[in-house]
Amino acid sequence: DMKYIHEFYGEYSGFAFTVFEQFRKYRMFRKCGLPSAAHVNRVGAIASIININDPGSKLYSAIAVGHDLIEDILYKAVDDYGIHYGFDRYEEFIKNFIPSELRDGIAILTNHYDLIIKYVSEFLDERGIGINNGSIIFALENLQEKNHPVLSKYADRTLEVLNSLPPETKNLEEIRWVCYKDLYLKDIAQLSVRADNFRFYEIKSFDLSDNGHGIGSLSMDARIKNLLKQEAWAR
């Protein structure tokens, strides 16, 4: 309903509609079974209801509604020729789907380390290589060689995390978790402090809070991880 969308997203109603349509088009659902479009809408709507925006603008609400767009849709979306965007067309995807004034904010809230882990997993799978310490390093070094203007730095930092872990914990899930709490969340926090603007960090809290919807349908491990993420945010 465009009237509802305009109420919460104002001048960015067109972008919000695009976000919802992308999640619906690819039938994206959360692990708990709820539609992904409902999740991103609730996070964006909370930003409007609490009103973290500057007067006369819905900028932060639009950033909030787009917070999962890159992570969840980059590999799903196709261009006019039906060709998927994916990792190697990251910048083209950003240009085509996200208005310029929203790009920095959405990038800040995007967990690029999850994209790095996905790249590593697919890189090794395509080559029939098992996942171990050496093969993960091989995949990350391959990504570094691409010299991608945005993503190479995340590959560098992921490699630093890998090298710092004890040998028995060097698996993709452990790397993902350490990157989340020690790099991704802290990056948002430190940026907020430097800019004296905590709205991105607030939006992350809306996201983590909304992840509690449908938590009863998740495994115990998933419930615990959700709580640990909230704790990491608070600390």
Q: How far is CA 40 from the centre of its chain?
A: 11
pLDDT tens sequence for the chain (235 residues)? 788 899 999 999 999 999 999 999 999 998 778 899 999 999 999 999 999 999 999 999 999 999 999 999 999 999 999 999 998 899 999 999 999 999 999 999 999 999 999 999 999 999 999 998 899 999 999 999 988 888 999 999 999 999 898 877 778 999 999 999 999 999 999 999 999 999 999 999 999 999 877 666 678 888 888 899 999 999 9
Give every CB contact of residue 140 below 8 A, 6+ residues apart in sequence.
116, 120, 155, 158, 159, 162
Q: The whole model's pTM is what? A: 0.93
Distance CA 135, CA 212 (A): 35
Q: 141-146 contacts: CB < 8 A, separation 24 or more?
A: 143/116, 143/119, 146/88
